[in-house]
Amino acid sequence: MTHNKTDYSIEAHRLIHPTKSVPFIMSPNQSAPFAPKGIILHDTAGRLEKGNSVKWFLKEQAKASAHLVLERDGSLTQMVAFDRKAWHAGKSSYQGKANVNAFAIGIEIVNPGRCEKTQDGTFKPWFDEIYGTEDPALDFAYAQTKAHGKGWWLHYTKQQIQTVTDICLCLRDHYDLKFLTSHYAISPGRKIDPNPLFPLADLQERLFGKAQRNSERKDQNQQTKAQKMWVPRATPLRKWPSFQDNQILIIPDGAVLSIMRSGYYDNGAGKEQWHWGIYASQKGWIRASDLEKIP
């Protein structure tokens, strides 16, 4: 991943785009100027209606805010200038340094968070709402990790993934940022966002290369100890733990894969374990049942 171009830019600590509107609606929940060193990604864990999270961050009673809110359609609202502290991290620490609000930009991605699947096949988040299966844009999958526990999660939209990638590239270059990580990594056991379907590791490597990946390997809430497994028959390495059109390459039979972490996902045929690993310098997902332990 070497393509690092983005049409976003920053002027007077505000995000701008040549063709897309990025409104600035200032939240009252902010404090003193600061110099950002990194980015923290969050889920809003709220309703999906456009503007819902922006309205919440405008209330003083929320006692929370973010620099940016990213909607399901990829549109953005900036609520705190990038040179001021937003209140997004709460009790937190990163690499031994507490109070992450004091040195990191917060981006909130609209997503309901963990949901329960009901007997009638609908999905219920923590708040009073039910999401049905009739809307094809709402694609849920089961996943289980050490950091998140188990549950059903809503996939992020392509627009969200593309937009968060573009703005992170812009922020990294403008402020010479040094890291990107998750809310659950800085508040382990207290927070579980963004959800396990977000391609965090891929975005980290795109922004900061192997140095960022290596720094995250010590996070026991996210990854397991690396192990070697072999491929008894030719099998695809995939971008996501699913059978969609997402093949990276075909791993030949007899090859050895380095497994870095694992999770359980449901892609319509029941819960299955998938491994995220490395083969021939390529990183991707492979179904656990397609691998065997090295004798």
**Domain-located, residue 31:** yes
pLDDT in tens, the chain (295 residues): 334 678 999 999 999 999 999 999 999 999 999 999 999 999 999 999 999 999 999 999 999 999 999 999 999 999 999 999 999 999 898 988 889 999 999 999 999 999 999 999 999 999 999 998 778 789 999 998 888 988 999 999 999 999 999 999 999 999 999 999 999 999 988 899 999 999 999 999 999 987 666 666 554 444 445 578 889 889 999 988 888 778 899 998 888 888 877 888 877 667 888 888 888 767 888 999 999 887 6
Which tokens belong to 148? 């998140």
| Residues 211 and 267 reside in one and the same domain | no
Q: How far apart are CA 195 and CA 28, in angstroms?
A: 27
What is residue 224's predicted lDDT score, i.e. its pLDDT? 42
Same domain, yes or no: 164 and 33? yes
Q: Is residue 221 part of a domain?
A: no
Query: Is there a domain that residue 92 lies in?
Result: yes
- Whether 204 and 266 map to the same domain: the answer is no
* Residue 107 and residue 245 in one domain: no
- Do 203 and 233 fall within a single domain? no
Q: Please tell me the total count of domains within the chain.
A: 2
Domain containing 175 — which CATH number? 3.40.80.10
Does one domain contain both 163 and 65?
Answer: yes
The answer to whether the CB of 181 falls within 8 A of the CB of 17 is: no
- The domain of 276 spans 227-293
158 with 269, same domain: the answer is no
85 and 194 housed in the same domain: yes
The answer to whether position 57 is within a domain reads yes
Q: What is the 3-state secondary structure (H, E, C) of 81-92?
A: CCCEEECCCCCC
List beta partners, residue 40: 106, 181
Residue 197 within a domain: yes
**Is residue 273 included in any domain, yes or no?**
yes
Q: Do 157 and 267 fall into the same domain? A: no
Spatial contact of 182 and 89, defined as CB atoms under 8 Å apart: no
pLDDT at 222: 41
- Which of 166, 187, 216 corresponds to the end of one domain? 216
Query: Do residues 166 and 244 touch, judged by C-beta distance below 8 A?
Result: no
| Token pair listed for 4 | 């690092």
CATH code of 248's domain: 2.30.30.40
